[in-house]
């Protein structure tokens, strides 16, 4: 006897569901795109961070400021990026304000339609700014102007009994109170110093600070009346460094050849004397009427001496396109103890 299978048993078998194991081509492409976007984002972030740090390091090393050479300054990309971000933020704020304004228009329109359906007169609610200004100014609403009407009418112009705003009154009262306090504290009691006394106190404090600094860093004493040129390589090199760092070349050129402002420092002609004493005094005291500052106020006596020696070392260098001579011819004085000539050799030659 043949046994027949129960059809219900076949129906009760669980149906196998198809589960995506992310092995299909579509899933693989999506994962690859996500990984690519993440890698790109990470690379751009790292690049910006490294770039900003390197720019900051280069900027700390560079001696030129951004205003001197903006297009070649290492911080130019950072500044440009900051400006771009600022512009984007500003645009977002402007768009947000316009969106709020448009939203207010829609809300107002909806309130008008609602008031029309209810059969009531629409009255716009005042903004918070209008409410605040009304409170600060104690303004009287237009519908209540009759309460402050003085009854004077001139060609349609009515006179109202408006009072000063409360904020103005309190400000005036505050200035009066401050004036009384100032008078008592500064002129009657004398607890606080006046401007002139405070200025003098600052001068005294500055002078004490300068004296303390000079005491901690004693300067070499140089007598400008007895100074004489010394062909010392170290002193001349320091004088050249000081000459360059103070932009003396702006008026005299870096090679001392002179330009339309300053005279030539390499020839034998001098306007204020060519001795070491004269040059030292000119650098120290300056020539105000010709635009040369008194460098003695900014330089130490040692630096003034070294610059003097550097300037004197330029004599006879004859730079290209140097300025024409100015002043009077100055010849160096002969040495105080001239070396005696060899008379024996002279007689032999004769």
Whole-angstrom Cα distance, residue 199 to residue 241?
A: 36
Q: What is the pLDDT of residue 183?
A: 93
Which one of 65-69, 70-74, 122-126, 146-150 scores highest in mean pLDDT?
Answer: 146-150
Q: Which tokens go with 130?
A: 């209008």
Q: What is the pLDDT of residue 80?
A: 87
What is the pLDDT averaged over residues 155-183?
91
Mean pLDDT lowest among 19-23, 70-74, 283-287, 290-294: 19-23
Query: Average pLDDT over the chain, rounded to whole?
Result: 78
CA dihedral 162, 167, 171, 174 (to 10 degrees): 110
Which one of 138-142, 170-174, 310-314 scores highest in mean pLDDT?
Answer: 170-174
Sign of the CA dihedral with 331 first, then 337, 343, and 349 last? negative
pLDDT tops 70 at residue 338: no
Whole-angstrom Cα distance, residue 10 to residue 23?
A: 31
Q: Which tokens go with 98?
A: 């316009």
Whole-angstrom Cα distance, residue 228 to residue 332?
A: 11
Q: What is the pLDDT of residue 298?
A: 85
Percent of the chain with pLDDT over 90: 15
The answer to whether 262 touches 324, Cβ cutoff 8 Å, is no
Mean pLDDT lowest among 201-210, 218-227, 282-291: 218-227
DSSP assignment letter at 254: T
Q: Decide the pairing of beta strands 269-270 and 328-329.
A: antiparallel
């Amino acid at each position: 006897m043949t046994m027949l299978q129960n059809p219900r048993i076949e129906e009760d078998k669980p149906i196998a569901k198809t589960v995506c194991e992310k092995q299909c081509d579509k899933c693989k492409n999506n994962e690859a795109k996500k990984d690519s976007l993440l890698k790109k984002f990470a690379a751009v972030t790292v690049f910006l961070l490294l770039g900003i740090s390197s720019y900051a390091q280069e900027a700390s090393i560079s001696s030129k400021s951004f205003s001197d050479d903006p297009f070649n300054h290492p911080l130019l990309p950072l500044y440009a990026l900051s400006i771009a971000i600022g512009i984007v933020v500003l645009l977002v704020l402007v768009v947000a304000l316009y969106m709020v304004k448009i939203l207010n228009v829609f809300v107002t329109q909806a309130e008008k339609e609602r008031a029309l359906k209810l059969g009531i007169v629409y009255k716009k609610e005042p903004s918070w700014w209008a409410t605040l200004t009304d409170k600060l100014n104690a303004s009287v609403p237009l519908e209540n102007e009759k309460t402050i009407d003085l009854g004077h009418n001139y060609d349609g112009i009515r006179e109202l009994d408006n009072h000063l705003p409360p904020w103005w009154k309190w400000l005036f009262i505050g200035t009066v109170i401050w004036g009384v306090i100032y008078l008592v504290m500064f002129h009657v009691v004398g607890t606080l110093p006046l401007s002139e006394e405070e200025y003098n106190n600052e001068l005294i404090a500055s002078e004490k600070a300068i004296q303390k600094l000079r005491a901690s860093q004693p300067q070499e004493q140089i007598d400008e009346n007895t100074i004489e040129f010394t062909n010392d390589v170290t002193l001349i090199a320091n004088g050249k460094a000081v000459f360059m760092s103070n932009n003396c070349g702006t008026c005299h050129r870096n090679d001392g050849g002179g330009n339309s402002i300053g005279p030539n420092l390499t020839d034998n002609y001098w306007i204020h004397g060519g001795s070491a004493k004269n040059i030292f005094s000119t650098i120290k005291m300056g020539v105000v009427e010709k635009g040369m500052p008194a460098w003695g106020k900014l330089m130490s006596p040692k630096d003034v001496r070294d610059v003097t020696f550097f300037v004197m070392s330029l004599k006879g260098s004859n730079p290209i396109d140097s300025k024409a001579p100015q002043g009077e011819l100055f010849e160096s004085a002969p040495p105080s103890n001239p070396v005696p000539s060899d008379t024996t050799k002279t007689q032999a030659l004769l």
